[in-house]
Structure 1
Amino acid sequence: MTKIKDLIPCFFVFACTLLAVVPASSQKRMAIYSEGCIKEHHLLSKIDSIRFVNSPQAGFWLYKTDSLLFYPHSQTDSLVFFEWSASECLRRFEVPTINIQVQDNAPVLSKDKEDYLPCVVEIDGKEMYADYIGTARIRGRGNSTWLWYDKKPYRIKLDAKDKILGLGSNKDWVLLANYRDPTNLMNAFGFEMASWLGLPFTNHSRFVEVTLNGDYIGLYQLTEQVEQAGDRVDIDVNEGVLLSLDKDDGPELAPGAEDNFWSAYYHLPICVKHPDDPTEEIIDLIKADFQELELLVNQGKYRDLSQSFDLASLIDFLIVQEMVYNVEMEAPRSVYMYKDIDNVYRMGPVWDFDAGFDFDWGTMTTGHNYFMAQDLVLGTDPFRHTQARNLSPFFTQMFDNTLFVQQFKERWAEIQPECLDYCLGMMDDYYAHTAEAMARDFERWPIDKNYAEEIVRMKNWLTDRLDVLTEVIENYPAGNIQEDTSESLFQELSDLLAEIASWLNDTDFDGKAALQSSYQDVLSRQLSEQSSIDELHEALGLLESALTDYLAGNIEENLALTASLSTSHCSGWESLEAVRDGLVPENSSAKTYPRYGNWDGRQGVLHWVQYEWEQPCTVSEIGVYWWTDFSGLLQPDVAYIEYWSAGSWIKLGDIGTEMDAFNVLDKLNITTSKIRLSMSSKIATGISEFYVKGYRPKD
């Protein structure tokens, strides 16, 4: 081990290239010391050069293959270069210890927030990190890990913010037990992979040995609590939003919570983690904003969606989940998203991976069985969910977009060999400096596995998985939605101009002069395949609006799309907007698309869905496609259509209740401003689609 002290005061312009002398497979690292302990470390094979400067601020730049970092003189004591062999790690990186003494030696028996217990926390940093002692509070945490296993995870809240083991100053810390995981490294792998990919705000790992009330309770993984803060999810405290997409925190399993809701379109369980203690008004605003995001996702247009959703973060996030086969995406559980003042949603931070790695759920309460097969989360065709877990289309809809699929494939090809090498190297590092602590942990919590053998199995499984995923991803279908280009938009514009020319030649509806004027306006702009996308979009919008106005009242259309939509009741986990989204399932029980349902805890109640227009429209046909889950939402016993006339509802007629097909009332000729569908079954009813065809009045 070579130690170079006092480098930082030598401020001069200097660059040294490291890759030429350090092979990519090397596990040599550079550690940055600050305040007497390691602040962070970097794999040398990831460092291109170091440049020392004294202007505008004294310090040095670290040029990495995936980022550019600056370290000021005032925050750096020295640089240390390590040859990270197992013997070096064992000699240098002794596992820190945490001693927690609860007041009156009280046992920690609850994970409820109101049951925090006062305690004293003492940390021995083993000369690698600063020691710590301070007062705090402790409680349990987790869901299945708290419920099923004797080795419990914990949440610690310091009474005063402080740096812990070289991590950013904060009060809130998590001790992951990793009891189900026979390697102790699955969460660490997920964090390291996400960090290597560049997903922001990824958690750090500090393995520690913990003593609670004098009882040695084993090896734990200390990490940050996922929350809004300067050294956590660093979003604006006033305008930022942090969301947890998690079944356990959502309305179904936490119905009494006031910080959660079902998303309006994709029926996702969402808990608002920031702002803290959101009011009902704030919840409604966040729900409405998220619905706009969902609708953009459903449209599948990369250019439009990318204004509101960082799709690069979605790609990296999905790559991590697929690499570790994290089936909890299906529920979903432990999925985080955030939005900062730029009003763009991003995926992350990642969290909770011990349900991945092909865990055997048949022994979930007692077993530690992993690495059984090479199944897929996204499948061989993510958009169609072929050989995939039943993920929400929110996560997979964009796989129907050709540009998104292309970028996903390119990203995988870019990262797949080096990323795994790096992460497996990190697992070797973790194992090297925790092996003795792991042995003590397995003696304290004996299971039917050998940790050293399981780590080898994990590495072999991941290596095999790299080959499996490379073949699968290379063969993803290209998608059907072509992204706009100047060439494609110009062709679309040319087709629309030809269509309008035909309407102008063959019809003589009212407003023809206005359509003719818009037509001539666009022709005069002399647009071409070299015109900008914005110019072409503007021309298309002008012509589409003019043609819509010209044809209003003269051609039949789906009036549902321009109506106000309301209902007597929509279950919180269903979607009212689903009745007019144009997505028709293959049958009445398919769960492919969102649907409407009116279960309200009662049975046999007559519920309704209603369309209303600002001006009376002429209705020619009405159709309903029912949906059932064969449980609470059943085939209707009663279903009929009413229309509004002279201040009261008039029954138009019964509508069919057949499943797996549209039930239609046609050959109608009524003028009305409201149409209402009423329905009931033995319990409740569901709808996939409800259309109303007819003619809008002219403005």
Structure 2
Amino acid sequence: METEDFAQIRDRITTLPAKLQVYGKDSPESDVMELTIRGRGNSSFTGMPKPGYKIKFENKQGMFGMPKDKEWALIANSADKTLLKNFITYKLAGWLGDEYTPRCTFVELYLNRQYQGIYLLTETVKVGEHRVNIPKNNSSFLLEKGPTEYGDENLVATERKTVFEIKYPKNPSDSGTQLLKNALNLFENALNDNDSPEKISNLLDFEDYLRYYWIQELSKNKDGAFRRSIFLTWQSGEPIRLGPVWDFDVAYGNWEDDSLRTPYDWYVRNSGWNGLIFKRSEYWQSATKYWKTHHDLIETFPDSIRKYSKIIAPATQNEFKRWPVLENTENWTYKEAYSSYDEAVDSLNSWIIQRMEWIDAHL
């Protein structure tokens, strides 16, 4: 990819015209495509050495067998020395039956003729036939727990001060926004008032919720504790649905807080809506049943990580020459030093196995 006049990408707002061509081992495998590029991510753009990018094609473009769309993300996974946490978590969500998880594939990026390393080319979370497939009208919404750091968002706050950013529609009507507020308030009040399980199950897709909860709890994801990067959809006459899952590069024990680095203790269970739901024993019994029912599948998770790590391992030699971070513990996102890529993968697998064992023992 080359920007016009080799201009530098300095922020997350300024879009620069660029061209992109996909190369195979020895030759081009696509035409030259027109697009724009800008920085993307919150802390991942401003606080990590390897930046992420948002790209938007002039015309809808299919990439590596993924459905056509204009908008894509190049995820740097700078904080994740395995480079696998986002990829494998999206896979897990799909294996557990999530209706939509972002499709993605690994690429090596050359930007303005400079090698930039391994990136995860990923579908962005947006409303569309092949992405978050909800009706396009004024009473259907895609929300993200907010506010985010960009500013100028369409925000909606409940009576209990829970804030969401409206990601779709881009320009919601007053009447539609009021419908949404009413639905969110009705749900939160039902939780706080200990309304009947039947009423709450009409307001929240509970099976969908349990899948979402366990992915966040298993990974001990800081953002998953009802902080941000929590997406949900609601449409008039339907229950709230959590998802899709998003943003796990600093999950699985990779954070400054000791409480998040260990594979022990509940973290997501008592946060936000989760705390209100699971204070009721019947809901925790349902969560326990879900974990046990899907345990055999979740148990294969570490083997899958080993499988995918072998696929990208040859390219990691280039990655860690460009970004020699394996032994680095100075950046706030680097808490463990590794002598090799394989050691980083083994450490992740060990953490997940210990996490599963702890959950099994404390249900």
Q: TM-score, normalised by structure 2?
A: 0.89
How far apart are the structure 1 equivalents of 2:243 and 2:119? 23
Aligned to 2:253: 358
Distance 1:318 1:331, change over 3 A: closer
Q: Deviations over 1:121-150 (max 9, x none)?
A: 1123569x9745310000000010111122
Aligned to 1:244: 144
How far apart are the structure 1 equivalents of 2:360 and 2:263? 16
Relative contact order, higher structure (CA 8 A, sep 6+): 2
- Unmatched segments (≥5 aa) in structure 2: 328-337
Shift of 1:342: 4.9
Aligned to 2:177: 283
- Counterpart among 319, 338, 349 of residue 441 in structure 1: 319
Shift of 1:353: 0.9
1:173 aligns with 2:72: yes
- Counterpart among 221, 228, 231 of residue 336 in structure 1: 231
Aligned to 1:233: 132
How far apart are the structure 1 equivalents of 2:35 and 2:24? 18
Tell me, yes or no, if the aligned pair for 1:102 and 1:117 is still in contact at 8 Å: yes
Secondary structure, aligned partner of 1:313? helix
Shift of 1:243: 0.4
Distance 1:373 1:418, change over 3 A: closer
Matches within 5 A, 1:159-238: 159-238=58-137
Tell me, yes or no, if the aligned pair for 2:103 and 2:122 is still in contact at 8 Å: yes
Distance 1:125 1:186, change over 3 A: same
How far apart are the structure 2 equivalents of 1:350 and 1:126? 33
Q: Deviations over 1:41-75 (max 9, x none)?
A: xxxxxxxxxxxxxxxxxxxxxxxxxxxxxxxxxxx
- Counterpart among 8, 13, 18 of residue 107 in structure 1: 8
1:323 aligns with 2:222: no
Q: TM-score, normalised by structure 1?
A: 0.47
Aligned to 1:147: 46
How far apart are the structure 2 equivalents of 1:158 and 1:451? 34
From the two aligned structures, give the one with the greater strand fraction.
1
How far apart are the structure 1 equivalents of 2:172 and 2:63? 29
Secondary structure, aligned partner of 2:314? helix
Letter of the 1:160 partner, please give it: N
| RMSD, aligned CA | 2.2
How far apart are the structure 2 equivalents of 1:337 and 1:451? 35
Distance 1:258 1:353, change over 3 A: closer
Q: Deviations over 1:563-605 (max 9, x none)?
A: xxxxxxxxxxxxxxxxxxxxxxxxxxxxxxxxxxxxxxxxxxx
Distance 1:166 1:341, change over 3 A: farther
Q: Which range moves more in the overlay, 129-138 or 100-109?
A: 129-138
Matches within 5 A, 1:421-500: 421=300, 423-447=301-325, 448=327, 449=338, 450-473=340-363
Shift of 1:409: 1.1
How far apart are the structure 2 equivalents of 1:148 and 1:424? 29
Secondary structure, aligned partner of 2:92? helix
Shift of 1:419: 2.1
Shift of 1:335: 0.2
Tell me, yes or no, if the aligned pair for 2:302 and 2:353 is still in contact at 8 Å: no
Distance 1:419 1:141, change over 3 A: same
Letter of the 1:138 partner, please give it: I
Distance 1:152 1:305, change over 3 A: same
Tell me, yes or no, if the aligned pair for 2:153 and 2:165 is still in contact at 8 Å: no
Q: Deviations over 1:397-454 (max 9, x none)?
A: 2223343222211110011232230x32332232111111111111101112332211
Shift of 1:472: 1.4
* Greater Cα radius of gyration, structure 1 or 2: 1
1:298 aligns with 2:192: yes
Distance 1:375 1:357, change over 3 A: farther
How far apart are the structure 1 equivalents of 2:250 and 2:162? 20
Shift of 1:156: 0.5
Secondary structure, aligned partner of 2:21? strand
Distance 1:125 1:318, change over 3 A: farther
Aligned to 2:295: 416
Letter of the 1:452 partner, please give it: D
Aligned to 2:274: 395
Aligned to 1:51: none
Shift of 1:281: 4.5
How far apart are the structure 2 equivalents of 1:359 and 1:182? 10
Tell me, yes or no, if the aligned pair for 1:134 and 1:158 is still in contact at 8 Å: yes
Secondary structure, aligned partner of 1:182? coil
Distance 1:354 1:271, change over 3 A: same
Aligned to 1:136: 35
Distance 1:279 1:240, change over 3 A: closer
Secondary structure, aligned partner of 2:204? coil
Matches within 5 A, 1:599-638: none
Distance 1:317 1:126, change over 3 A: farther
Secondary structure, aligned partner of 1:327? coil
Secondary structure, aligned partner of 1:351? coil
